């Protein structure tokens, strides 16, 4: 193992150790189910905003959106527009009535809220909601675990399945020991790393590539469509539909249970405005940084006339390749 590989291994080990320690620290605050599932509904706006964004973006931001930036260029910025709109609407229009009602019913989970809100004495609605959460959140979490395997494979050269298993084991450890508080604290830690990294990496990559003019000329030579806001679709119906499709990605934030459970845990309805400001700012900086990271990676690793698959293999590898 060379020095670079050893340093990466130490860095990843330290990162995982911090997550486990977060779980241990949070476990000391666990006294009842209210603590475990909702942090006693006493979490501040900064914690909730960072947690909501980190869990809402996660691997999609670091691997998916950077890969999209590498694949389609500036056109991927329409995703940023859609996500900023989606986050704004979720916080400003939906979080307030949801928080007010969950407090009124003293709900600590979404099935709790649905059962109380619709006066379902049969518990059928609770069971349906719980089943839906188990099925669809499991699919969502599986995608995150798969991305963890990809990250370990790219950074450390590990087998994908081994990396996914290690990541799953660490998450399971801190979630089971520290509950929702551990999840939020780990989200704060990871969210801070994500937004800082995606703000700084494009700057470093831009300098490394020779500056804005050199990058622009290189991308023009690789594929001029990368620099067009509508990509190869151009102005017309196809371009419009493409923009709508990319922007609509942000609509997912209007109904994501993993986002709304954080609104439920907020300390007070009065903190929603400040939380919204933090969440929108985080989204704008991190998402824009992700697209630019992918675009700059394409400029650095591709040659004129070279297909994306030949330059990167998988577009989602662009961030790990830049970090290396």
The total number of residues shown for the chain amounts to: 324
Phi, psi dihedrals of residue 28, rounded to the nearest 5°: -70, -10
pLDDT value at position 86? 97
The domain segmentation of the chain, as residue ranges, is 3-323
Cα-to-chain-centroid distance, residue 215: 27
Give the DSSP per-residue string, 42-73: -B-HHHHHHHHHHHHHHHIIIIIIHHHHHHHG
Q: What is the pLDDT along the chain (324 residues), one digit of tens a residue?
A: 566 778 888 888 999 999 999 999 999 999 999 999 999 999 999 999 999 999 988 888 999 999 999 999 999 999 999 999 999 999 999 999 999 999 999 999 999 999 999 998 888 999 999 999 889 888 888 888 888 888 888 777 888 899 899 989 999 999 999 999 999 999 999 999 999 999 999 999 999 999 999 999 999 999 999 999 988 777 788 888 999 999 999 999 998 999 999 999 999 999 999 999 999 999 999 999 999 999 999 999 999 888 888 888 888 889 988 887
Token reading at 89: 């609407």
- Quick check: 303 and 222 in contact, CB under 8 A? yes
Count of CA atoms in the C-beta half-sphere (13 A) of 64: 16
Of 79, 83, 66, 18, nearest to 194 (Cα)? 66
d(CA 55, CA 51) in angstroms, rounded, equals: 6
Q: What is the pTM of this model?
A: 0.92
Q: List the structure tokens of 37.
A: 């599932």
Angle at alpha carbon of residue 239, lines to 233 and 242, rounded to 5°: 105
Following DSSP, what letter does each residue of 208-269 receive, concatenated? HTT-HHHHHHHHHHH-GGGGSTTGGG-SSHHHHHHHHHHHGGGGGGGS-HHHHHHHHTBS-G
Contact 155, 8 (CB under 8 A): yes
Q: Which pLDDT does position 315 carry in this prediction?
A: 87
Give the pLDDT of residue 58: 82
Whole-number pLDDT of residue 324: 73
Quote the pLDDT of residue 178: 94
Buried-exposed string 96-116: b where 16+ CB fall within 10 A, e elsewhere = bebbeebeeeebbbbbbbbbb
């Amino acid at each position: 193992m060379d020095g670079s590989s050893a340093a990466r291994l130490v860095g990843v080990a330290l990162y995982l150790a911090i997550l486990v320690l977060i779980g241990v620290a949070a476990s000391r605050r666990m006294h009842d189910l209210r603590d475990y599932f909702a942090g006693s509904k006493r979490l501040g706006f900064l914690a909730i905003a960072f947690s909501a964004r980190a869990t809402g973006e996660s691997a999609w931001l670091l691997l998916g959106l950077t890969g999209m930036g590498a694949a389609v260029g500036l056109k991927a910025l329409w995703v940023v527009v859609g996500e900023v709109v989606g986050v704004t609407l979720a916080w400003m229009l939906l979080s307030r009535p949801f928080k007010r009602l969950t407090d009124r019913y003293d709900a600590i989970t979404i099935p709790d809220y649905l059962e109380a809100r619709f006066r379902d004495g049969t518990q059928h609605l609770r069971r349906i909601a719980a089943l839906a959460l188990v099925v669809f959140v499991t699919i969502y979490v599986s995608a995150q675990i798969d991305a963890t395997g990809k990250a370990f494979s790219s950074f450390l050269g590990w087998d994908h399945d081994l990396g996914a298993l290690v990541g799953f084991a660490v998450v399971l450890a801190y979630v089971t020991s520290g509950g929702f508080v551990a999840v939020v604290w780990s989200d704060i830690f990871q969210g801070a790393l994500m937004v800082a990294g995606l703000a700084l990496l494009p700057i470093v990559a831009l300098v490394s590539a020779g500056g804005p003019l050199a990058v622009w000329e290189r991308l023009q030579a690789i594929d001029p469509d990368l620099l067009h806001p509508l990509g190869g679709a151009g102005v017309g119906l196809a371009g419009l539909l493409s923009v709508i499709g990319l922007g609509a990605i942000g609509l997912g934030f209007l109904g994501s249970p993993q986002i709304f459970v954080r609104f439920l845990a907020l300390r007070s309805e009065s903190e929603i405005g400040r939380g919204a400001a933090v969440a929108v700012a985080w989204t704008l900086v991190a998402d824009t940084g992700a697209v630019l990271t992918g675009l700059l990676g394409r400029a650095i690793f591709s040659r004129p006339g070279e297909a994306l698959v030949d330059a990167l293999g998988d577009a989602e590898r662009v961030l790990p390749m830049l970090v290396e």
